[in-house]
Amino acid sequence: MNEMPLRHPVGIPWFTSDDYDAFRLLVPQRSWHATFDHWEIAATKVLDQQRRAGVIVFKVEVQSGAFALWCLNTGREADRQALSVYASEFAHRLLASNDND
């Protein structure tokens, strides 16, 4: 039987310039770049590397208020791990909706 390989998308949290500092305060233990511009350059490189490696990767635009509410509703601490899970769950939903189109 030929089975399709499982696709595991990766969601990269994608911040906006006007919300970047709010995230730095919300998730202080994460390693942050000094400025949004520095972060965006580094994040774009990671995104490009992942795509070149064949990883299904999505930019997941996150908003600090929505993320904080999600943490509250799911009983999670607003930390690096929660941010990764949040972006990953969104990426899985995006992939599923693309597969259903």
Task: Give the domain ranges of the chain.
Answer: 10-99
Contacts of 85 (CB under 8 A, 6+ apart): 76
What tens digit of pLDDT does each residue of 11-64 get? Answer: 999 999 999 999 999 999 888 999 999 999 999 999 999 999 999 898 999 999
Q: Give residue 3's pLDDT.
A: 43
- pTM of this structure: 0.81
